[in-house]
Amino acid sequence: MSNVDPETFRQFEHQGWQEIASRYHGGFAAVTTQSVPALLEAGRVTEATRILDVACGPGYVAAAAAARGAVAIGIDFSSEMVEEARGRYPGIDFREGDAEELAFPDSSFDAVLMNFGMLHLARPEQALQGAYRVLRPAGRMAFTVWDTPDHAVGFGIVLGAIQKYGDLSVPIPPGPPFFRFSDPEESKRVLIAAGFVNVAVIRVPQVWRLPSPETLFEVMYNGSVRNAALLRAQKPDVLETIRAEIRVRVEKAGNELSMPAVLASGQKL
Ligand SMILES: C[S@@+](CC[C@H](N)C(=O)[O-])C[C@H]1O[C@@H](n2cnc3c(N)ncnc32)[C@H](O)[C@@H]1O
């Protein structure tokens, strides 16, 4: 990972999320929201739990926690995402904030939750250290990421098509490996390194019901950051070949794609 410049990658992600914030709800959210109940369970969220939803996007985790009677705050580094969240859930406290620099006092939350945020961070270890700091003793941290492309079939199809016809060496700012925390051992390792105990990793089944065989390409192209950049950097004729290949692979796989999440959790001592 020595070729990763964290600040360049962070800016690349930030610009990407600013641009796609309004499209996220109509795309990946159909899948990422399926992990929310499991994440709340891992965080032991009940009435009056003080929770921080980190990289909150449109605010689904905070909203689901609030519906259980928890006191929820959501933060996201994209002002456009924060606007999305405020518009969707006006009663909840959403703020602009960086997962890598949590601007909260020590011991201010019972649970810190991050749904599909870790894989977008330039400095994920720093985010876990911050989560540990803002948790009260015995408080809980839980995060989800995508499972590997052999299990999360939508990624398998898209990356397989790019590998077959495209150029993977196009110049996009290098970041930490997208599937790094899909490896349960790696997720456990970073949680333990941040000081967490009672660390556990489970797989959460999720299904992406695609309204049409074109949807997978369209959501990756219009509603993601790194994979969209990879697609956009392809030559036009190559891109059309990739799009057609993705369509064929989706038709073969069927319109319900398995897209499991890996959910990792731990507790502050
Ligand atoms: C895949 S979306 C997940 C949104 C939401 N948590 C969900 O459940 O669907 C990733 C989110 O992480 C945010 N994000 C990425 N890097 C961040 C950072 N360093 N600090 C705060 N938010 C960040 C993005 O703006 C985006 O809203």
pLDDT more than 70, % of the chain: 99
CA distance 106 to 129: 11
3-state helix, strand and coil shares in percent for the chain, rounded to the nearest 5: 45, 20, 35
Which ligand 1 atom lies nearest to the CA of residue 53?
6
Tell me the CA–centroid distance for residue 49 and ligand 1, in Å: 22
Instruction: pLDDT band for 62, please (50, 70, 90 cuts).
Output: very high
pLDDT, residue 168, reads 85
C-alpha of 238 from chain center: 28
Mean pLDDT of the region 101-113: 98
The overall pTM is greater than 0.85: yes
Closest C-alpha to 124, from 177, 88, 71: 177
6-148+175-208+259-267 has which fold?
Answer: Rossmann fold (3.40.50)
Name which residue sits closest to atom 10 of ligand 1, judged by CA.
117
Distance from the CA of 113 to the center of ligand 1, in angstroms?
12
* Length of the chain, in residues: 269
3-state secondary structure of 114: strand
Cα 172 from Cα 4, distance rounded (Å): 11
The two three-digit tokens of residue 181, written as one number: 């925390």
* Token reading at 149: 């492309």
- Cβ atoms of 102 and 129 within 8 Å: the answer is no
pLDDT, mean of residues 146-169: 96
> For residues 97 and 57, what is the distance between their CA atoms, to the nearest angstrom?
11
Range 5-27 average pLDDT: 97
Domain ranges in the chain are: 6-148+175-208+259-267
Residue nearest to atom 27 of ligand 1 (CA): 57
Round to whole Å and give the CA distance between 165 and 87: 41
Residues having CB within 6 Å of any atom of ligand 1: 13, 17, 29, 32, 55-57, 60-61, 76-78, 81, 98-100, 115-117, 120-121
